[in-house]
Amino acid sequence: MTISRPWSERPWPMGDIHWYVVLGAFVLDYILGDPGFLPHPVVYMGKAIVFFESRFRNWFKNLLVSGAFFAAFLIFSTWALAFCAIALSMAIHPGFGYLVQGVVLFFCFSSRSLEKAALKVFQALEAHDMEAARQAVSMIVGRQTQTLDEKGVTRAAVETVAENFVDGFLSPLFFAVIGGVPLALAYKMVNTLDSMVGYQNEAYNLFGRASARIDDAANFIPARIAVLVISLGAFLLSFKTGAQTLKTGFSQGSRHKSPNSGYPEAAFSGALEVRLGGPNVYHGVLVEKPFIGSRFPDPGKEKIRQACWLMMTASWIALFISCFIVFIF
């Protein structure tokens, strides 16, 4: 007769993940980046957002309410689908289940693809091809790039490497550690919602407000952990002492209009000794933003490459710390 263990002795099913799943997912990302021959879950998230937006707008007259239900529905649905898919794969065979978890988590990471995209900007600047540089940076930033000079293109590339270290790697890793792969995938839906509807404009100021606030809340802790990891990465790369990176990250991180983006950007500013931030044009509107690291000079194009080194080093550090935590606990 089989006796079930009491609930108090069972592992927490929501956070069931193994260190080799995390490591395998990162190695896949490091080797493959974002392979165009594989269907990416974020593409289907985007299609789901487009499909359900008009329906939720029609179901609720109050845009704040409809936007909140819209975001909650898509985030929970993503988590539930991932949970069921992983549970089914584990029921078939544990090895198959771990493989599915690794592949799904791999799609949540984007460190390598971010590095490749940023280095395309660097290579275009090296070749003195400003048109190609503007085109390359436009693929990874939200601001208008048509009129950016070399300093503007370089600053945009460094800033997006810093910011997307959190969005594209550290936050998914954080949620995978505390809640398993389904929670990491749910975070990707949060991030995709924010990038598609989290705007302060006429169309989304009310409807997208819940999506933007959820994204702010989700990234709050990872953005601040990022300062610590980036500081350690800067120390290992001998850019500057970790103390300067740490000090700049926490003292100037709050200067950004976003409650989270400023922290990794400020840490990169201190590590690379460059000035970031400042006014930019988004969707035809000039947005005044304060400078971060104003005592430093504007970044030269070589800082893009250094930012990539720092981002990948910080990613490896975060990976090993996470695998150790998962292994121990």
Distance CA 280, CA 289 (A): 8
Give the containing element (helix H, strand E) for 285. strand 285-287
* Half-sphere exposure of residue 269: CA atoms within 13 angstroms, side-chain side: 31
Q: What is the pLDDT of residues 106-151, one digit of tens each?
A: 999 999 999 999 999 999 999 999 999 999 999 998 788 888 899 9
H-only helix segments in the chain: 19-32, 41-59, 63-92, 94-108, 111-126, 130-138, 150-165, 171-197, 209-237, 242-252, 262-272, 302-328
On whether the CB atoms of residues 197 and 66 are closer than 8 A, the answer is no
Q: What is the pLDDT of residue 286?
A: 65
3-state secondary structure of 259: coil
Q: What is the pLDDT of residues 179-238, one digit of tens each?
A: 999 999 999 999 999 999 998 888 899 999 999 999 999 999 999 999 999 999 999 998
CA nearest to 26, candidates 324, 316, 327, 229: 316
Q: Phi first, then psi: what are they for 276, rounded to 5°?
A: -125, 175
Q: What is the pLDDT of residues 87-103, one digit of tens each?
A: 999 999 999 999 999 99
CA nearest to 14, candidates 62, 75, 103, 83: 83
Under the banding of pLDDT at 50, 70 and 90, the label for residue 12 is: very low
Q: What is the pLDDT of residues 242-266, one digit of tens each?
A: 789 999 999 999 988 889 999 999 9
Q: What is the pLDDT of residues 263-309, one digit of tens each?
A: 999 999 999 999 998 877 666 666 777 889 989 999 999 999 999 99
Distance CA 124, CA 113 (A): 17
Kindly state the tokens that stand for 44.
Answer: 């289907």
- Backbone dihedral region of 288: left (phi > 0), alpha (psi from -120 to 50 degrees) or beta? beta
Task: Give the burial class of 238: count Cβ atoms within 10 A of its Cβ; 0-12 exposed, 13-18 middle, 19 or more buried.
Answer: exposed
Q: What is the pLDDT of residue 37?
A: 78
pTM for this predicted structure: 0.91
Under the banding of pLDDT at 50, 70 and 90, the label for residue 240 is: low
Which one is predicted more confidently, 53 or 6? 53
Q: What is the mean pLDDT of residues 1-28?
A: 67
Q: What is the pLDDT of residues 57-70, one digit of tens each?
A: 999 989 999 999 99
Distance CA 113, CA 140 (A): 10
Q: What is the pLDDT of residue 289?
A: 79
Q: What is the pLDDT of residue 15?
A: 55
Distance CA 134, CA 120 (A): 10
Q: What is the pLDDT of residue 147?
A: 84
Q: What angle do CA 232, 292, 194 make, to 5 degrees?
A: 85
Q: What is the pLDDT of residue 265?
A: 96
Task: Give the burial class of 60: count Cβ atoms within 10 A of its Cβ; 0-12 exposed, 13-18 middle, 19 or more buried.
Answer: middle
Q: What is the pLDDT of residue 322?
A: 97
Q: What is the pLDDT of residue 181?
A: 97
Return the exposure string of 293-311: e unless at least 16 CB atoms fall within 10 Å of the residue's CB, then b: beebebbebebbbbbbebb
Residues 6+ apart with CB under 8 A from 62: none
Domains of the chain, residue spans: 16-328
